[in-house]
């Protein structure tokens, strides 16, 4: 085999390997577009279940809202209204006051195991989740999606007009 084609082949293989490594590194290192995440403490014990549905979107919505609901239960349990308000839809007003009301009413129940029952999606971008706390207390959360990020409807606002 002539020397020139071997060099070209070697350059092409090397370039493809570098391109693949770069793409893999970018994919692994990209940050999530979701502006919230679970913290190390307090621990949360939340199980998810979509309602029985003829629509396949019910399971998809349950999977999509799971991170937000877990963060909600964790922030509720921690009892910090400012932290809880940060997972409220940014275009809503009076989020911190509403968060304080939720903490007063539900924080004592958040340490128990929680079952999250995700309702059938009626309108794209809106979801309802019933939290069933271990002690029998129940709460319904209304969630709204904007640019692939789910938010808690917290405070005063219009979910369809972000």
Instruction: Report the mean per-residue pLDDT for the chain.
Output: 86
The reply to whether the predicted model has a pTM over 0.85 is: no
Angle between helices 95-106 and 57-78 (to 10 degrees): 80
- Does pLDDT of 43 surpass 50? yes
Residue 157 pLDDT:
87
Most confident of 48-52, 120-124, 141-145: 141-145
**Is it true that the peptide bond before 12 is cis, omega within 30 degrees of 0?**
no
> Percent of the chain beyond pLDDT 70?
88
Q: In this predicted structure, which of 3-7, 41-45, 80-84, 95-99 has the lowest mean pLDDT?
A: 3-7
Q: Which strands form 114-118's sheet, in the order they lie side by side?
A: 46-50, 114-118, 126-133, 138-146, 149-152
Q: Cα(25)–Cα(27) distance, rounded to whole angstroms?
A: 5
Residue 30 pLDDT:
47
Q: In this predicted structure, which of 35-49, 91-105, 140-154 has the lowest mean pLDDT?
A: 35-49
Residue 31 pLDDT:
47
Q: Greater confidence, 133 or 123?
A: 133
What mean pLDDT do residues 109-124 have? 89
Tokens of 57: 């979107």
Residue 3 pLDDT:
63
Residue 5 pLDDT:
78
């Amino acid at each position: 085999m002539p020397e020139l084609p071997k060099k070209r082949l070697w350059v092409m293989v090397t370039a493809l390997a570098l391109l693949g490594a770069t793409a893999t590194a970018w994919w692994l290192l990209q940050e999530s577009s979701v502006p919230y995440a679970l913290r190390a403490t307090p621990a949360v014990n939340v199980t998810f279940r979509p309602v029985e549905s003829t629509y396949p979107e019910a399971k998809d919505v349950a999977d999509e809202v799971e991170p937000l609901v877990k963060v909600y239960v964790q922030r509720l349990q921690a009892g910090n209204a400012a932290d809880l308000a940060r997972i409220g839809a940014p275009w809503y007003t009076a989020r911190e006051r509403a968060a304080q009301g939720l903490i007063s009413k539900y924080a004592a129940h958040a340490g128990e195991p929680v079952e999250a029952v995700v309702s059938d999606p009626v309108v794209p971008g809106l979801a309802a989740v019933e939290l069933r706390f271990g002690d029998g207390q129940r709460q319904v959360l209304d969630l709204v999606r904007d640019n692939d990020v789910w938010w808690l409807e917290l405070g005063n606002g219009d979910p369809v007009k972000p």
